[in-house]
A and B are shown apart, each in its own frame.
Chain A
């Protein structure tokens, strides 16, 4: 509760034009925001740019922070919106998810072939190959450890949709793993 109140007071200071408060908020959260965006847009430079845009938006619209959700939830919501808008603009981005989890082939050097055989590495590649929609919910729940209601607030969808979306993301993960030669027995 203290941390939530502290963050709300930081945002109130930002709304009053306190640039130091913005620096503090940036220092606390920019890595999380950057990683969330970068996972979605898959480009470090674009992710940096969008991260700055998120904090610029916070600077401009801090007064609109209602305080009903945590500051992080609010920030990730802005980040998600920015990342998805950017992806829509870059329509050339296509999700060739099968290729990302491919089995080793004869052309691979020994290091790549070993990585492809490592179950953890395969799972990571498949996680990276999920669609932005699936990746977003997976990251919010597993990395940012958000509750159902928090994830719903970030994604701006109903709570039941959050549950269903993660369920389908996990099923898709199983499919990708199966294509990569790993059957994990579910679904």
Chain B
């Protein structure tokens, strides 16, 4: 190998030598060459500057707009979504609540979900104005929620069961329902919990804290 071709071969490796992404064998080759040709050390400075300015150029590209993710999630084809285990959320529910081990608890919860699904189906299809009798659900934190247009009643029921929530009022204008989360007081209904509710975008269109 002539000295020129050796120099070119080493120069081709230098960017990775500078970024620390070169394999051991190539690193040794580069270091041997640099020891014998100190004039080539000036390349390292050039490459360092190139990298620094490339970083700045990329940082200057900024961020995509904040609604990019929402547009992505809205565009996910439903048919491409393989069916999740129908009772996956039940499993999750009971993993979170080991004290509810007995089989009757699972059965009771399944019946509750079925009953709620049937009830929601009626609500969604007939859309009556619905309000529980005063005092029926006075405990628990309240939130306002609108369900996704294509959410199925069974999925909504499962979602409500997962969060131990019940519809107590609605639909209000815009298809908004008031729900109560039974085991939470108002102070626990914070942004984190609202975000957790909102994460279920296949079911929830919007969720907001309720004033009461």
Measured CB to CB, the residues of A under 8 A from B are: 16-20, 22-23, 26-27, 30-31, 34-35, 38-39, 44, 47-48, 51-52, 55-56, 59-60, 120, 123-124, 127-128, 138-139, 141-143, 145-148, 163-164, 166-167, 170, 173, 184-186
A159 to chain B, nearest CB (A): 11
B84 at the A/B interface (Cβ < 8 Å)? yes
A20 CA to B80 CA, complexed, in Å: 15
Contact B16 A26 (CB under 8 A): no
Cα(A129)–Cα(B4), bound, Å: 29
Q: How far is the CB of B151 from chain A (nearest CB, A)?
A: 13
Number of residue pairs A-B, CB distance < 8 angstroms: 119
Partner of A139, one of B8, B54, B72, B75: B54
Stretch of B43-51, B118-126, B163-171 that contacts chain A:
B43-51
Q: Please name the residue on chain A nearest to B50 by beta carbon.
A: A142
Q: B57 at the A/B interface (Cβ < 8 Å)?
A: yes
Docked-complex contact A31 and B16, CB < 8 angstroms: no
Shortest Cβ gap from A100 to chain B (Å): 12
B138 part of interface (Cβ distance < 8 Å): no
* Contact partners of A44 in chain B: CB under 8 A: 62, 64
| Complex contacts, A48 vs chain B, CB 8 Å | 64-65, 68
Among residues of A, the one whose C-beta sits closest to the C-beta of B81 is A17
The 21 listed contacts between A and B (C-beta, < 8 Å) are A22-B73, A23-B69, A34-B63, A35-B61, A47-B61, A48-B64, A48-B65, A52-B68, A52-B72, A56-B72, A56-B76, A60-B77, A120-B53, A124-B60, A141-B15, A143-B58, A145-B20, A147-B21, A164-B12, A170-B47, A186-B43
